[in-house]
Amino acid sequence: MSEFISKQNLLTWLGQLIGERNLVAPTRVDDLLLFRKIDRVEDIVFDFDNTTLSPKEWFFPSSETLFYVDRKDGQTELMPAAIEKETAIFGIRPCDAQGMTMNDYPFLEEPADDLYRQHRDITALIGLACITACPECFCTSMGGGPHDTANVDILLTEVTDGYIVQVLTDKGKALLPDNLLATADVSSPLAPVLSEIPSEGIAEKMRQAFDEPFWDRLADRCIHCNICSYVCPTCYCFDVRDYTDKERIERVRSWESCQSPGFTRIAGGHDPRSTKGSRLRQRFSHKLLYFPNQFGALGCIGCGRCVRACPVNIDIREIIQDVQQLGVKSEA
Amino acid sequence: MAVEYQPKIVGFLCNWCSYAGADLAGTSRICYPSNIRIIRVPCSGRVDPLLIVKSFQQGADGVLIAGCHPGDCHYSEGNYYARRRLALLHTFLEYIGIEEERFQIQWVSASEGKRWANVVSSFTEGLSILGPRETTLHKETV
Amino acid sequence: MDFSEEIRSKAKELLESGTVDCVIGYERATDGVGARPLFVYQPNDIDRLIFDQTCTHNLTKYLLNRKDKATAIVVKPCDSRAINLLINESQIQRDKVSIIGVVCPGVVKAGLDNTSGELQDTCRMCQQHTPVLYDFLVGELGLEPDVPDTYPDVTGMEDKSAGERRAFWEEQFSRCIRCYACRQVCPGCYCLECFVERLDPTWVGIRIAPGENEVWNTMRAFHLAGRCIDCNECERVCPVNIPLSLLNRKLGKEVEELFKFQAGIDAETPMPFSTFDKEEKLGISE
């Protein structure tokens, strides 16, 4: 027996949530699927693979004001940016939820990032288990799974006429509408089977591959835009600048990518990662070697967004396979 | 009491002709609306379309470029380049939704003080009727 | 259409003779359907090269990374215009590039295979099916298409009201995440310091927000006025589907009407904004 919510009751519940807090869910924007704040339940998309951009922007916005300093009548007033009301993200996939947990490592390690912490504290995750998988998905090779309950507050799994409801945390429990749930004798469908990517031992292989000409050859076609980093749930580099007008100074943080030329350019003009190969190697080293070394988990959660979005088909799955083979094959 | 809408106009005036013409309007005590904020540039050819687009982004309701009459440029050719560049910019601004009445290019010589005042007066009046341009400055993304 | 064999044969010849150090072409992508750029340095990689109607990428941007090295490159007609542009603007040397031009009926939409026949929108409006510049031609010279109205997309936008256009572009630019893929893929964008990267003075800054996005996208398009060769790569690579070609092609249409000029048709005609006509009347203050 499982906790169950009918499709109709789910819509009712989501409507209630819209009234009490910010509800963020996948919605159609032109022909894209994006996580947006929802005003009407009819705008929510339930039948989808995954969104183009990850939900990380709800914890780590593409641009965020860190604080304001206002000068009025000779007085200065420092105002930290305020976080708005409670939020629930509906429709987050287990891989993306795992991605948010991965982001907790750098952001919440002391001294914690206060704004990120506030976003995390006020946000509940209502996950949606994956019934099908995109061709590019490989979460099972990266420590996750299509029905993984580890990183969400509630997980819904679609069955006939409704969803199995699994409540994982107190935050999830507090969100639930008791009178809309039932128990039902339904079992979860089998999770979709994904292709296996040989991620076992990849960190050590990446360390060994550091000086290989493989990276320069791969980087030949990389155009060094920011797409992979920006669609990725677990990329978190940013830049901080102050913007001023007569009365207000605003400190803003915005997304940045290690892929863009000049990312590591420093005062005096020196650039330790001036070559295309060194920048490309950096991203994969961070995901597959440095992040696991530092935090004990792979930085990539296998959502496949970078694979879909890269204009020149730089494919992390292919890279993992190639790097695993590098020691085995003789020099190309 | 309702505050009457006052258009904010940014003007890029070339140093040699139009700025001098505006100065002449001043010394001749000819009145014209003070909505225009004047930025002096060496030549209308120096005016980068980026400056104009940025002015609109920062909240300008109208932008006016003034230079020497073609053939009279202090640097010989600067305003010929400006003419090409700004003619194209005018159609482009309209295309991205900035009404064509908000952007004007005028050739004003150093002796045309009265004309300068007329140009600014009619531009300001047109903009008052058109209304403010809602700025996208600091608009939060969804 | 599939010219893989012809491409391989020409590439092999150029590499083995030492004419070039590298052939830039295409190979099959990991989805088994689309294409991706391939750099061939050794003859034993030649067989990876393909050429069919999935080969949408404009490879000419990569020539700017190999300015002093002899390179062969596979180009479609639109791509070949970029080479003329880069020669005209003194960015590459003609004698360093061996151009394998392909007669192109158009490329298919993303995700579709070579046999689908469903062309990209931009290819349906294309007037140039033969490369304008090449050393070796693959495919038969044939009649150019009779495309009566070459800018229906632009006139469609022009016919809307100013308010409609404003709302449209606001919505489009609000989605921009400033990944700069449009700039990175564009052969016309090669400034060592892009205006958007300039922080002193800050023209755009790092804030990702609608106002800044509008300045970014409109000014990048304007910097390509009279220079854009209409390969549509910018729009193809955009991860949030902003219809950038509507901006570039509007400027292309105006430049064609005002100055009778199209970018990249040859490498000699002076660029429209580097020159002027004293007598021309352009509707300003007359």
C153-194 pLDDT, tens digit each: 999 999 999 999 999 999 999 999 999 999 999 999 999 999
Contact A159, A186 (CB under 8 A): yes
**Chain C residue at shortest CA distance from A276:** C65
- Is A254 within 8 Å of chain B by CB? no
Q: Could you say which DSSP state residue C202 is in?
A: B
More confident residue, A246 or C51: C51
Does B95 contact C219 at a Cβ distance shorter than 8 Å? no
Contact B18, B68 (CB under 8 A): yes
What pLDDT was estimated at residue A34?
A: 97
What pLDDT was estimated at residue A20?
A: 92
Does A36 contact B141 at a Cβ distance shorter than 8 Å? no
Radius of gyration of chain C (CA): 20
Does C254 contact B53 at a Cβ distance shorter than 8 Å? no
* Least Cα separation, residue C37 to chain A (angstroms): 6
User: What is the Cα–Cα distance from C154 to A75, expressed in whole angstroms?
Assistant: 52
Kindly give the interhelix angle for B78-95 and B49-57, rounded to the nearest 10 degrees.
40
Q: In terms of Cα–Cα distance, which of C272, C275, C263, C274 is closest to C84?
A: C263
What pLDDT was estimated at residue C213?
A: 96
What pLDDT was estimated at residue A332?
A: 46
Does B95 contact C158 at a Cβ distance shorter than 8 Å? yes
Q: Which helix (H) or strand (E) holds C24?
A: strand C22-28
Residue among C39, C208, C233 minimizing CB distance to A220: C39
User: What is the Cα–Cα distance from A27 to A94, expressed in whole angstroms?
Assistant: 18
What pLDDT was estimated at residue A76?
A: 81
Place of tokens 């906790």: A3
Contact C239, C265 (CB under 8 A): no
pLDDT band at B140 (very low <50, low <70, confident <90, very high): very low
**Which amino acid is present at A251?**
R
Mean pLDDT of C60-88: 97
Residues in chain B with CB shorter than 8 Å from the CB of A36 are: 142
Mean pLDDT of C52-70: 97
Q: For chain B, list residues whose CB is within 8 angstroms of any CB belonging to chain C.
A: 49-50, 53-54, 57, 70-71, 77, 80-81, 83-92, 94-100, 105-107, 135-142
Question: CB under 8 Å to A52, separation ≥6 — which residues?
Answer: A32, A33, A34, A231, A305, A309, C239, C240
Mean pLDDT of C121-139: 93
- Per-residue DSSP letters for C9-69? HHHHHHHHTTS-SEEEEEEE-TTSSSEEEEEE-SGGGGGG-B-BTT----GGGGGGG-TTS
Residues in chain A with CB shorter than 8 Å from the CB of B139 are: none
- Is C260 within 8 Å of chain B by CB? no
User: What is the Cα–Cα distance from A210 to A207, expressed in whole angstroms?
Assistant: 6
* Least Cα separation, residue A227 to chain B (angstroms): 19
Low-confidence ranges of chain A (pLDDT < 50): 330-332
Does C166 contact B87 at a Cβ distance shorter than 8 Å? no
C217-276 pLDDT, tens digit each: 999 999 999 999 999 999 999 999 999 999 999 999 999 999 999 999 999 999 999 999
Residue among B84, B94, B141 minimizing CB distance to C162: B94
Does A312 contact C199 at a Cβ distance shorter than 8 Å? no
Contact B24, B116 (CB under 8 A): yes
Contact B56, B100 (CB under 8 A): no
Residue among A63, A217, A231 minimizing CB distance to C209: A63
B55-109 pLDDT, tens digit each: 999 999 999 999 999 999 999 999 999 999 999 999 999 999 999 999 999 999 9
Does A230 contact C179 at a Cβ distance shorter than 8 Å? yes
What pLDDT was estimated at residue C141?
A: 87
**Does the structure show a pLDDT above 80 at B135?**
no
Other CB atoms within 10 Å distance of the CB of residue B50:
17
What pLDDT was estimated at residue B139?
A: 47
- Is B137 within 8 Å of chain A by CB? no
What pLDDT was estimated at residue A95?
A: 97
Whole-Å CA distances, A242 to A113, A265, C207: 18, 19, 10
B21-39 pLDDT, tens digit each: 999 999 999 999 999 999 9
Mean pLDDT of C142-149: 75
Supply C174's token pair.
């609000």
Does A63 contact B142 at a Cβ distance shorter than 8 Å? no
pLDDT band at C285 (very low <50, low <70, confident <90, very high): confident
**Does the structure show a pLDDT above 70 at C143?**
no
For chain C, what's the residue count? 286
**Does the structure show a pLDDT above 50 at B142?**
no
Kindly give the interhelix angle for C162-174 and C210-223, rounded to the nearest 10 degrees.
100
Residue among A135, A217, A260 minimizing CB distance to C31: A135
Residues in chain C with CB shorter than 8 Å from the CB of B84 are: 258-259, 272-273, 276, 282
Q: For chain A, list residues whose CB is within 8 angstroms of any CB belonging to chain C.
A: 29-32, 34, 52-53, 62-63, 135, 217, 220-221, 223-227, 230-231, 239, 241, 243, 252, 254-257, 260, 262, 276, 307, 309, 311-313, 315, 317-318
What pLDDT was estimated at residue B80?
A: 96
By percentage, how much of chain C surpasses pLDDT 70? 99
Does C258 contact B88 at a Cβ distance shorter than 8 Å? yes
Other chains touching C, judged by 3 or more CB pairs under 8 Å: A, B
Tell me if residue B10 falls in helix, strand or coil: strand
User: What is the Cα–Cα distance from B9 to B16, expressed in whole angstroms?
Assistant: 21
Other chains touching B, judged by 3 or more CB pairs under 8 Å: A, C
Residue among A30, A63, A221 minimizing CB distance to C241: A30
**Does the structure show a pLDDT above 60 at B141?**
no
What pLDDT was estimated at residue C127?
A: 85
Sign of CA dihedral B142, A174, A116, A308: negative
**Chain C residue at shortest CA distance from B100:** C162
Supply B113's token pair.
């003080």
What pLDDT was estimated at residue A73?
A: 83
**Chain C residue at shortest CA distance from A241:** C206
Does C179 contact A226 at a Cβ distance shorter than 8 Å? yes
Contacts across the A-B interface (CB distance below 8 Å) = 5
